[in-house]
Amino acid sequence: MALETTVFSFKISVPFEQWAEVYDSEENKQLMNKEKIVCLYRGINKEDPSSAVFIEQAEEGKSIAMFSNPEVRPLIEEAGHIYDSTVITSYLRS
């Protein structure tokens, strides 16, 4: 399978630091390790503190599959991530 880099751009309803605590939590790290998903970057838009991004790298389809899992969605939303605002862009290494 190809290595895919996926960019998730989205709105948050809480301060970025609060959202990041959940994303950086041990529970999320274990889930990502299990799926062999690596976070390359996470950050906040410097001009709009309600806009955030994270970039993950994994085998093709893994990051999107985890994000799209109906069991994971409530956890994403509880962190302050506005799920329906998410724009996903994927890139494959040639």
Does 88 score more than 80 pLDDT? yes
Instruction: Look at residue 67 in the predicted model and tell me its pLDDT.
Output: 96
Q: pLDDT per residue over 24-76, tens digit each?
A: 999 999 999 999 999 999 999 999 999 999 999 999 999 999 999 999 999 99
CB atoms within 10 A of CB 65: 14
Pick the CATH number of 3-92 from 3.40.50.300, 3.80.30.10, 3.30.70.100, 3.40.50.20: 3.30.70.100
Closest CA to 84 of 12, 3, 28: 12
- Under the banding of pLDDT at 50, 70 and 90, the label for residue 1 is confident
Q: Where are the domains of the chain?
A: 3-92
CB 52 within 8 A of CB 44: yes
Terminal Cα-to-Cα distance of the chain (whole angstroms): 12
Global pTM exceeds 0.85 = yes
Question: According to the model, what pLDDT value does residue 93 have?
Answer: 82
